[in-house]
Structures are given as structure tokens and as C-alpha cells.
Amino acid sequence: MPPISIEHLYISPGHNFFGHHGQPAGANPLREVTEIECIAGRGVRCDRFFDYKEGYKGQIAFFSSEVFEDVCHALGIRDKTAGLTRRNVITRGVDLNALIGKNFSVQGIEFEGVEECKPCYWMDLAIGPGAEGALQGRGGLRARILTSGFLRIDSETSRPIVSSATSF
């Protein structure tokens, strides 16, 4: 696998879009941090999905900087950040869809790639008109956290180690 770089890390205490269908978006702040604590089977400490429910498939969410840049270019959007997608880990250098159905390791932490984070109509509000359509099939990766540890930004030498999805 090619090297993976973690460019940004985000946490939020509450949901702005999830569970808000038919209501206005929430106003919970998104906080950019230099490291996040991943807790096996529970999620990212201090994030809205921490202890959401047992075995939850979206304990952590990854998103690609390259995809965000492509979408912004295609839609003529400037001066926005990938944090608007409300994913926890913004990466560079890895095809996140290739990790669906696989166990992988980043910075010594084991994850199970479960499914794509499917974009919803809120992306048109958060990023700009047309964003939901432009993100179809590349909305990021939902994953379960299999081992605990810390992820930190700017890890240029970290390479995901991939194996088939099996139980540990």
C-alpha cells in the first residue's frame, strides 16, 4: 500500500446532520485537534459517536483530501476545508474504498473498514450545491476501532497494513 498521511483530525461533541432529517442542521462545533484517542469497540474519545452503540460500524470516519479537492475544483468552491464533511480523519495517499471489508493498521492502531460514508443532502448545505452528487461512491470510510491508541496528524511515513477482514 502507498504511504498514508493524516492531514487533519476532528472531533465534535454533537451531531449537526445525523438524526436531523426534516429539521435544521445542528450547531455543534467541529474542533480540529493534533491527536485523537481511539478506544477499541467504543470510538473516538470526546466525539459524538463515542459509545454510540455496541459494535457500531462508524466508530471512526476517514475522508480523503484528494477527493475533497477534486469535488471543490469541479464545483468551483474555494476556501473551504474537508472538515465540513464531519469525518474524524482527513487522509492523503490512500484509496479509502479499497479498505472496505479489510482490516488495516494506521500508526499501530487496528481498524476494520466497514463501508463507505455515503454522502447525504446535507453535503450540499455544508460544502455547496452539487456536493452530494459529486461525493457519490467516494464519501469516505466508516470503520470500527479494533485496538486502542492515538492517531496524530502529519504522519508521512505511516503505511496502512491491510489484511482480509477477520476477527481478532
Element (H, E) at 66: helix 65-75
In words, the CATH class of domain 5-164 is mainly beta
The full DSSP string for 87-134 is -SEEEES--GGGGTTEEEEETTEEEEEEEE----THHHHHT-TTHHHH
Q: What is the pLDDT of residue 121?
A: 79
Mean pLDDT, residues 59-72 taken together? 96
- Residue 157 pLDDT class (50, 70, 90 cuts): very low
Phi-psi group of 41: left, alpha or beta (phi > 0 → left; psi -120 to 50 → alpha; rest → beta): left
| 74-118 confidence digits (pLDDT tens) | 999 998 999 888 899 999 999 999 999 999 999 999 999 999 998
Q: What is the pLDDT of residue 29?
A: 74
